[in-house]
Every structure is written in structure tokens, then in C-alpha cells.
Amino acid sequence: MKSTEYVLSIDLGTSSCKLSVVDASGSVAATASAGYDTYSEKPGWAEQNPEDWLVAVSEASGRMLSFCDIDPHAIAAIVPTSAAHIGVLADNVGKSLRRAIIWSDQRSAREVEELNRLKGNLIFTQTNNQVSTTWTLPHFLWIKRHHPEIWGRIRHVSFSKDFLVYHLTGNWTSDFSTAVSSMLCNAGTGTWSEELAAMASLDISLLPEILPAGEISGTLNKNGARLLGLPSGIPVLCGALDSAMETYGAGARKPGDYVIRIGTAGGIHVIKQTPNPVGGLLTYPYLIDDLWYSQAGTNSAGSSITWAVETEGFPRTPEGYVAFDNLADQAPPGCEGLIFHPYLSGERTPYWNSDLRGTFSGVSFRHGKAHFARAVLEGVACSLYDALLALGDGDKLPATIGVVGGGGSDKVLMQILSTLMDRKLLAMKDIDSSYGAALYGLHTLGRGKKSGVFDGTTYVPEAENGENYEKTFTAYSKYAKQLLLLYAGGDDGLHPHDI
């Protein structure tokens, strides 16, 4: 790889794709994004059209190439990444047979209950993970139950990143982390599990070949070249999950390294020497040195803030988010007892209840718009702290923790979170899964520094507000326990889909 060459990353995120071109120094030369729709025909449903991903990637690539001065022939490799748990059922020519159910979808609660009751121990033993509505296996079971006519037409089972790779190269491949995220892979052997696939009446011959994340899946064929507007023949790496790439991009390289991730959802990641299968946590293989990482993930972090920004009447622009922050900053820390639970689409760690719903608690006449705005930010911070506690490593936390994702640009949220966690936080500028994927590609090709180009803002705990946030989190936790009882199911419980 010459010093004038670049790596192109393609990140299929939850609501949009982002392409980044990064040079050997780790500097970003160009980026472009394009969005796609998420369809929610019923409450709790979330699915996307896989062909929309291809349209968005093509649009973003065309836009990027039109305004940057990079010679397309200088792109040495393409590295894909994507969100986890998004399965695609395709026919013999690679066309999707239906929309893909994405990770935030809640419809498969019945299938989850059945899997846990009948096969829960086997699944946990083979995958290092506990069944929930997040995973692809119960998604496929729901589809089979409600759309059985599709099953006989399936010729390929893949996942969002891997569906893209097929349309770029003509090859069906996947990586270990993505395979684990499907709940169809034996995490101990790194191979597809016939027992797990049989639970969804799938033959493992339909599943893609599992390759190392840094191995070449194929080269850009004519269709892929036309899609991206690039010359054919460029190597396309297998890639990996966005959570792994973002963690890598933040510089996490050894056991005990932590990263806080605030995007649509939230997550706390910690690198482990070996798998740490604990119910309530997500356990994935990492990108390097046979390491693993544990993830305590929440459902609605940045998405809760976006909801609040729009509900308060601000535009969904950088200026709108700043205006929302300014409003929130007018209310005192602790919001005078107003508590928000960001369970707008159920919650993952530590509750794993798809029926939970968001609430404002402790509302009184003293509370105004500023209180409600700040309460949302404090609620998101509390949910992340709740997730951090679930990791059980509080006494081993480093003095400074890196924060990646769009939520790191929210100054009020970052200050709340730093004080609540009692740790310095480095909100890393422009570090996301797209950047991490490009950085990983550079290193795989033998170029680039061991870490990226880090720039950001450091937040230090405010001692004067520590007690306020301790009280807020105590109240948050007590309310959460009551909400769990309320949404526990049964004749006396609330069922949000019936309201």
C-alpha cells in the first residue's frame, strides 16, 4: 500500500449509512452519508428494506466522489461494518424475500419465551448470550411462524453487512462477530451450529462462509463498481460489527479497556481476555489477539434525545440540538425531582423487558419545559450508568473513559454522565464505527498508526453536583423496579401493545 492510497469504509447504521475515506496517517479525507427508512407498521416493530441500503450506499458514494479530490484508483481496500442482529433472507439471485427485522424490533417476545423455556440452556452454552428480542434467531422464528410461504424460497441467509458485500463482490461471507450476533453460531467453535439453525428450520448450507474480519471476501465486481462508482478489482474485506469497529476506532486494544458508545442506542464496552458469558450482557469476539468484549447495551440513548428535541419543537439539526441543550441547562441538576426513564422501545441491560415504556415521574407544578428537557438527558445518563453497573467492574474502571458516537457532542449530557459515573470522560471527535472500520482496514493492510488521530473534549466530574445525581439515580432505580412490576405481564400487568 502506497502512502498516497486510502481505505474506504462503509457503515450500515441503524438509520443511515456513512462512508469514510481515511489515509495511512489515520486522517479522514472525505465522508458522506445517506439515509433509509425504518418501517414500523405496528407498535414495537422495526424493519428495513435491504435494497434501500444499496441505494443509500450508492448515493453516498456518488456524493462523496463528486466533491473530493481523491483518485478512485488510490482506494486500496473497502471495509464494511454494520449494526448487529439484522438478518436477511434472500433468493438465488441475492434479492431479499422480505424486509429485514432490525435489532430494536420487539415483536418476537413469544418466540423468545419459547426459546428460553425449551432451549435456553443450550443457546446460552453455545452462544455465550441470553435470548431476547434483539437477536436474529427469534426474528427468524417469528417470520417462519407468520410468513411460512417464504421458507421454501430461501436460498441464502445473510446479515446486513454481508448482504452488501455480496452485492459488491458476488460472494456470500460473514465474520465471527456478526455470526455470533445472529444466535446461529457456536461461539466456542466459531462455526455455524446445526442445532441452533434447526430451531429456525434452516440448513447451515444456506449460511455464508465465516472468515476473519480482516480477510478479503472478494474484489469489487462490475455490479459493485457500478454501485460505488469505483474501478473494479478493489479488495473488499469481510469486516465486522459496528460496535467492534467503533471500540477499535476509540483505541481499545487490551483487556480492561472501556469505551462508552452513544448512538441511536447506548452501550458500555469492555475488552476481555476470554469470553465473559453473563446473563443480561452481550458477549462478542473482538477484532484482534483472540480477545472478546462484553457489552451492556441500552435501547434508546440518542434516539430518546432526538425524540425530545423534536417534541420540544426544535429542528433535527446541529443548531436544534444546541438549542435543546441550552434549554436543558436552564433547569437545575436533579430537575427538582423530575425523573425520566428512556424506555421508549423497551429496555435491554439490565432489565431485558421489551414491554417497558418510558415515563416521566415526580411531575409537579414547579416543572417547566427546561426541566423536562434536562430530565431526558439525565434519564439517558442514568440508563447508561445502570448498564455500567451491570458489568460489575466498577472498582476496575480507568480514570478516563473514551466516549464515541453522536451523543458525545452533547455537552450537557457529557457533564451529567461524567459526574454520575465519577470519571473523566473524553468525548472523542469524529470517532465512530465508520472511522474505526477504515482504521482497522489500514492496520490489516500493514499501514497506519496503532491508534487513530484522537481529538476531543474532556469532562471532569462536578463535585458540587455529585450528591444531586446520586439522589437522582437512586430515585431512577426505585421507579424502574416499580415499572418492572407494572410491565411484568400476566392479567394484572400492562401490555403496551394492547393500550
pLDDT tens for residues 141-196?
999 999 999 999 999 999 999 999 999 999 999 999 999 999 999 999 999 999 99
Q: ∠ CA 88-171-98 to the nearest 5 degrees?
A: 20
For residue 454, the model assigns a pLDDT of: 67
Q: Indicate the angle between helix axes 318-328 and 302-311, nearest 10 degrees.
A: 80
Instruction: Give residues with Cβ within 8 angstroms of 235, minimum separation 6.
Output: 76, 77, 78, 216, 218, 219, 220
For residue 33, the model assigns a pLDDT of: 96
Query: Does the pLDDT value for residue 462 go beyond 90?
Result: yes
Q: Write phi, then psi, for 124 (nearest 5 degrees).
A: -65, -40
Query: Does the pLDDT value for residue 2 go beyond 70?
Result: no
Task: Give the residue range(s) of CATH 3.30.420.40 domains in the chain.
Answer: 6-243, 251-430+462-499
**Residue 481: Cβ-neighbour burial (10 angstroms; 0-12, 13-18, 19+):** exposed
Among 165-169, 449-453, 454-458, whose mean pLDDT is lowest? 449-453
Q: What is the dihedral of CA 374, 379, 382, 384, to 10 degrees?
A: -110
For residue 44, the model assigns a pLDDT of: 87
For residue 81, the model assigns a pLDDT of: 98
pTM over 0.75: yes
Read off the C-alpha cell for 464: 458540587
CATH topology for 6-243 is Nucleotidyltransferase; domain 5 (3.30.420)
CB 376 within 8 A of CB 324: no
Query: Does the pLDDT value for residue 491 go beyond 70?
Result: no
CATH topology for 251-430+462-499 is Nucleotidyltransferase; domain 5 (3.30.420)
For residue 451, the model assigns a pLDDT of: 55
β-partners of residue 219 are: 235
For residue 328, the model assigns a pLDDT of: 98
CB 66 within 8 A of CB 85: no
For residue 189, the model assigns a pLDDT of: 97
Residue 1 binned pLDDT confidence (cut-offs 50, 70, 90): very low
Residue 392 binned pLDDT confidence (cut-offs 50, 70, 90): confident
Alpha-carbon gap, residue 178 to 16, rounded angstroms: 19
Mean pLDDT of 195-213: 97
Q: What is the average pLDDT value for the chain, to the nearest integer? A: 94
Alpha-carbon gap, residue 80 to 214, rounded angstroms: 10
Query: Does the pLDDT value for residue 449 go beyond 70?
Result: no
CB 259 within 8 A of CB 250: yes
Alpha-carbon gap, residue 87 to 140, rounded angstroms: 8
For residue 130, the model assigns a pLDDT of: 94
Read off the C-alpha cell for 214: 480482516
